[in-house]
Chain A
Amino acid sequence: MRLTFTIQRFNPEVDSSAHPQEIRLDVGRGMTVLDALIRIKQECDGSLALRYSCRSSICGSCAMTINGSEKLACRTSLRKELERHRQITVAPLRNFPVIKDLVVDMAPFWGKIRDVQPWLSPGSALPRAGGAHSHPEFHNVDACIMCGACVAACTVYEVSKGFAGPAALAKADRFLSDPREAGASTRARLSALQGEHGIWDCTRCNFCVEVCPKDVQPMEAIIRLRRASLDRGMTTTGGARHILGFTSLVEQQGHLNEALMPLKVVGLSPSRLLHILPLGIKMLLKGKIPNPLGHAFPGLSHLKALIRRAKRPMPPV
């Protein structure tokens, strides 16, 4: 079958901006996008730049944007892509500087990884109980192949390049889960992630979870880091106040209450209150501020009792 590939090309030595190139190629059954790109480079246009190595979803070098989504070219079937999108478009990963064609500069990615100090600190304790006999629980985060797909798909990183990003934060969670990490190191690790571009920037959009080729679920790792922060009393950031305030409203009223939520997050900071006040007034005038006392509903006492039971620690199995 003859297929048209639309490939985004960019050569910084001659191009002022990226442009699409259409290339037609005879393809066979069972081919992947990477198989096709290698043949295009060999048979149609040797100047096409792409990065690949293992061809079997292990090395993580061939992540790119295929039909608008982040994928490893080596594990993406041409047939399935055609069924899903009726076309094949290939572009470099988003959110990364492009070096040439499909090759992006991974330096910012490695920088973010380095920032979370992905190593055990000197002075780390010997394995805790269970030790060498039990496999540490890394929640599959250790399956990460650093392909960059999650960072390319991250909707926060798209507008805020300072954000640590899903890959680095998942890496931090992997070390948090390591039984050899000393308590003090864990605390320091979490403490460093409370800052401006840390764990509280994530909107939980689930893009990273959806695109990860290894089911690492970086967003779930970020949620574990948030929970671990609360467990250690790190509750003063806006993000921590948000999730604690939200949960306490559900405990008290059974529902979220938008009249109280901003106060839970902002607290009593006069400048922040002044910042949200204009919107609050507009909402009030438009009938968008609910009764701060909530609304009574049948079964609230049952609900409160249920929440008390659910929050009780489970007896050890």
Chain B
Amino acid sequence: MKYALYPGCAAQGATPELYQSTRAIIGRLGIEVVELAAASCCGAGVVTEVHPDMALAINARTFAQAEALGLDVMTICGTCQGVMSAANQRLKTEPGTLDRINALLAPEGLTYQGHVQVKHLLWIVVRDIGLARLGDLVSVPMRDFHIAPFYGCYILRPSWDLGFDDPENPQSLERVITAVGGEPVPYEGRTKCCGFPIILEKEAIAVAMAGAHMSEAKDQGADFLVTPCPLCHMSLDIYQERAGRAVGRELHLPILHLPQLLGLAMGISAKDLGLAHHLISVDSIVATLGRRQTHS
């Protein structure tokens, strides 16, 4: 199983632990990757607000690079996934768009035929690797942990661009949580917005959103959250103290990236998963799992 890995900006910037943990788990999962080292930012839904064709062109360039390798793209960021799925959909289906963008790519010697699929690690785990296989790889089950999935927006909506989970009732994260031995926590906020896109300029609104979802997850008994999107992670982890103030309570909810959850369940060390980079400590989870390992 081989993919062109598109790490995205956050994993190479403010969430280095996402890149580190991805690298730590993919071999164990049987995934081989060629990293798209010459790829740029996907535009994050922001560049298209300023210049739609620039956003399409930078994504078509990434797709052309993967196509030249004969590989589909693997993303590890929910936002990259949403933006790239939408761009790919436009390039593949909008009359004239692919030709127009290919004309822009031509001077670099690149062309995109429209044959690449973009898949998030979450989808690859659920569909390509399979949950039974994942279950076989678990050596430290997440037994007795109540884990709240936090999908974020871009990996779910608009559903016609993404085409994987049902945005009204997504199940992939729940199934992964169950496969690693944990108990998924049901709560409404799991599909809602973390507020990150406006957190720098409209912090009060953004942290009220993040705070409401974490508060709800906590009320439903969550020990920690897991997310497939590093932008959600930033909102929920880095801004958690402020989000707590917005909802008038101390939250203390560790937030794991998806590959960190998988890594812990496969017995990979906290160090190799970059857990020390988090602002909200994950130590209590690691300690509980460590005690189990020594007893078993």
Contacts and interface: CB of A to CB of B under 8 A. Distances in A.
Given A246-B47, A250-B47, A256-B44, A303 B58 contact: yes
Given A155-B193, A243-B49, A288 B238 contact: yes
Contact of B49 (A203, A226, A310): A226
B271 interface: no
B38 to A, nearest CB: 4
A287 B61 contact: no
Contacts of B205: 156, 159-160, 163, 201
Nearest to A209: B158
B227 to A, nearest CB: 15
Contact of A205 (B58, B105, B157): B157
B125 interface: no
Interface stretch (A54-62, A142-150, A167-175, A291-299): A291-299
Interface residues of A, number: 68
Determine which residue in B154, B201, B278 has the highest number of CB atoms from chain A within 10 A of its CB, and name it. B201
Nearest to B103: A309
Contacts of B156: 206
A242 B46 contact: yes
Contact of B202 (A67, A238, A279, A288): A238
Contacts of A67: 168-169
Contacts of A241: 201
Interface stretch (B11-19, B138-146, B262-270): B11-19
A191 interface: no
A16 to B, nearest CB: 21
A228 to B, nearest CB: 11
B50 A306 contact: no
Contacts of B126: none
A238 to B, nearest CB: 3
B89 interface: no
Contact of B168 (A68, A243, A250): A68
11 contacts: A155-B193, A156-B198, A156-B209, A200-B202, A205-B157, A246-B46, A279-B238, A286-B276, A288-B15, A303-B40, A309-B104
B108 A305 contact: yes
A178 interface: no
Interface stretch (A37-45, A123-131, A259-267): A259-267
Contacts of A209: 157-158
A307 B202 contact: no
A35 interface: no
Nearest to A242: B201
A297 B38 contact: yes
A257 interface: yes
A204 B154 CA distance: 9
A244 interface: yes
Contacts of A226: 49
A247 interface: yes
B200 A265 contact: yes
B135 interface: no
A64 to B, nearest CB: 14
Given A210-B159, A247-B46, A310-B54, A203 B200 contact: no
Contacts of B277: 286-288
Interface of B: 9-10, 12-16, 37-38, 40-41, 43-51, 53-54, 56-58, 61, 82, 100, 104-105, 107-108, 153-154, 156-159, 166-169, 188, 192-193, 195-198, 200-203, 205-206, 208-209, 212, 238-239, 276-279
A242 B276 contact: no
Nearest to A302: B108
Interface string A166-200: 00000000000000000000000000000000001
Given A201-B202, A306-B61, A243 B12 contact: no
B193 A205 contact: yes
A265 B12 contact: no
A210 B167 contact: yes
Interface string A194-224: 0000001111111101100000000000010
Contacts of B100: 314
Interface string A224-252: 00110010000001110111101100100
Contacts of B203: 275
A151 B68 CA distance: 44
A287 B159 contact: no
B198 A255 contact: no
Contact of A286 (B154, B188, B212, B279): B279
B158 A206 contact: yes
A203 B198 contact: yes
A258 B58 CA distance: 19
Nearest to A250: B41
Nearest to B106: A309
A19 interface: no
A92 interface: no
A242 B43 CA distance: 13
A254 interface: yes
A206 B203 CA distance: 20
A276 B203 CA distance: 10
Contacts of B239: 279
B13 A155 contact: no
A262 B200 contact: yes
A288 B278 CA distance: 9
Given A207-B193, A254-B40, A259-B13, 14 more contacts: A68-B169, A156-B198, A203-B197, A203-B209, A206-B154, A210-B167, A223-B48, A238-B202, A239-B201, A255-B9, A257-B9, A258-B13, A286-B278, A295-B12
